[in-house]
Structure 1
């Protein structure tokens, strides 16, 4: 069996799923691009659906792992914790822009795999973000606001560049896989946290707002 065949299959699948869509990609297409035979794909993933599930799991395991790791620093402040999460997730998505683009498009569909992701990883993400916002309110770092709406805003800011890569490139001439984009956009995300989400100026934990 070809050395690193599994990695080659995953790379080929991500590229083809992203450019042609899941339904527009065949197992033979993936095998040809990965330079393996279809039996090798069956050996590792059973079928195309198994490969799709692997791509989802691969993406969200690392995605949630970055949130969980950053959450360990919550006692240093909710704002700093959220900034670290935003920075880590943006970097992860930029490094894996094709995978992020494909996964986010597929997440808009109603399928068994998507429902499974929603019931596990999406709920974990909601739990951690909710805890951070609640701490930010308690410590008076963040302006009081509806947590679901804050999550909508934050998720929208993080996901949009990767959900609409064609629009980004062809209309705005912005390329999410380039280092310049990550540096510039991270400043904008931090500005949203500092100026929209947070109170003006630094505040001490437990300070009373008059």
Structure 2
């Protein structure tokens, strides 16, 4: 069996799923692009549905791990924690831009797999974000806001460049896979936290620390 065949299959599948869609991509297409035979795909993933499930799990396992690691810094302050969380998640998206784009497109569809993801990983995501916001309110770092709407806004900011990559490239001439984008966009995300959430006292304290 070809060395690193699993990684080659995964990379080929993500590229093809993005360009041709999941239903428009066959196992034969993936095997050809990965330079393996169909039996190798069956060995690693069983079938195309198994490959799709692996893509979802691979993405969200890492996504939630980033959130858990960032939340471990909550005692340093809610603002510090949220800024680390957004930085880590943005970096993860940029490193896996093709996969993020495909996953978010699939998440817009109502399927059994999407419902399972929502009932496990996305509930965990909600838990960590809600805890950060609640701590921020409790410690008077954040001005009071509706938590569901804050989560909606923050998720929208993080997801949009990867849900609409064609629009970003063709209309805005912005390329989410480039390092410059990550650096520039992170500043804007942190500015949203500063202006939308943080109290004047929190901003002044951060300015002193800098």
TM class, shorter-chain normalised? over 0.9
TM-score of the superposition, structure 2-length normalised? 0.95
| Deviations 1:64-113, CA, capped at 9 Å, x for gaps | 00000010110100000000000000001001100000000000001111
The yes-or-no answer on 1:111 pairing with 2:111 is: yes
Does the Cα contact within 8 Å between 2:141 and 2:201 map onto a contact in 1? no
**Residue pairs, 1:29-44, within 5 angstroms:** 29-44=29-44
Shift of residue 185 of structure 1? Answer: 0.3
Does the Cα contact within 8 Å between 1:90 and 1:182 map onto a contact in 2? yes
Shift of residue 164 of structure 1? Answer: 0.1
The yes-or-no answer on 1:70 pairing with 2:99 is: no
Does the Cα contact within 8 Å between 2:194 and 2:203 map onto a contact in 1? no
The yes-or-no answer on 1:95 pairing with 2:95 is: yes
Q: CA–CA distance in 2 between the matches of 1:19 and 1:92?
A: 21
| Cα pair distance change 1:66/1:134, threshold 3 Å | same
TM-score of the superposition, structure 1-length normalised? 0.95
Shift of residue 202 of structure 1? Answer: 2.4
3-state secondary structure, aligned to 2:173: coil
| Deviations 1:111-141, CA, capped at 9 Å, x for gaps | 1111111011000000000000000000011
Q: CA–CA distance in 2 between the matches of 1:133 and 1:61?
A: 22
Q: CA–CA distance in 2 between the matches of 1:103 and 1:202?
A: 36
| Runs of 4+ residues over 6 Å off in structure 1 | none
Q: CA–CA distance in 2 between the matches of 1:201 and 1:99?
A: 40
Q: CA–CA distance in 2 between the matches of 1:20 and 1:142?
A: 44
Q: CA–CA distance in 1 between the matches of 2:117 and 2:202?
A: 37
Shift of residue 203 of structure 1? Answer: 7.1
Does the Cα contact within 8 Å between 1:140 and 1:203 map onto a contact in 2? no
User: In structure 2, what is the equivalent of residue 15 of structure 1?
Assistant: 15
The yes-or-no answer on 1:49 pairing with 2:35 is: no
Q: CA–CA distance in 1 between the matches of 2:130 and 2:148?
A: 8
Shift of residue 161 of structure 1? Answer: 0.2
Shift of residue 198 of structure 1? Answer: 1.1
Shift of residue 199 of structure 1? Answer: 1.2
Tell me which protein shows more helix as a share of its residues.
2
RMSD: 1.3
Q: CA–CA distance in 2 between the matches of 1:195 and 1:82?
A: 14
